[in-house]
Amino acid sequence: MFPSAAKLLLIGTLAFTSGCSLVLVDGPPDFIPANEPVPQGACTTERTMPFVDAIGATAGVATAVFSSDGDYVRIGAVLGGVLGYSSFSGFRKVRQCRHRMFQPTGSPPSDTLFPWSSPDLTLFPPGPVVLPRFDAIPPYQ
C-alpha cells in the first residue's frame, strides 16, 4: 500500500531537480546581433545544470522501465520526458553561448567554400630546416 522509501526518495529528488536548465541556464541575449560576439557573463557557459537534468531524466526513464507499478511508470516517464527536454534545451543554450562568446572577431576567408575544412598549409616553412645529425657508430664494425 505504501511505496518504498527508495522510490519515494527518487520521485522527490526528481521533482525538486526538475527543470534546472529551463530556469537557471541563460542563452545568448537577443538584442546582440548574431554575427557579434557576446561579452563575458552575458550567458551561461557551464554545463552543470544540463548534466543534472540528464541524470534526472535517466533516473526517471529507468524508473519507468524497471517498475512494475503503473503509477511509477507514468511518473517516471513524465519526469524523464520533462527532464530530457530541459537537458536538451540547456545544452543547446550553452552551446550557442559558447559559440557566440568565443567566435573570432574577424570574418572567415571568402576564397573557400568551407573555410573550416581547409587547413592553413604553407609550402615553405618560415625558417631554415635543420635536420638531425646521426653521428652514432654502428655497433658491429
Residue 115 lies inside a defined structural domain of this protein: no
pLDDT tens digits, one per residue of 89-140: 999 999 988 888 877 665 554 555 555 555 555 555 566 666 666 666 666 6
Residue 111 lies inside a defined structural domain of this protein: no
Residue 49 lies inside a defined structural domain of this protein: yes
**Which pLDDT belongs to residue 72?**
81
* Number of CB atoms found within 10 A of residue 137's CB: 6
End-to-end CA distance of the chain: 90
Residue 27 lies inside a defined structural domain of this protein: yes
pTM: 0.62
**Which residues span the domain enclosing 73?**
5-101
Residue 127 lies inside a defined structural domain of this protein: no
Q: What is the tally of structural domains in the chain?
A: 1
**Which pLDDT belongs to residue 36?**
81
Residue with cell 543534472: 52
Residue 54 lies inside a defined structural domain of this protein: yes
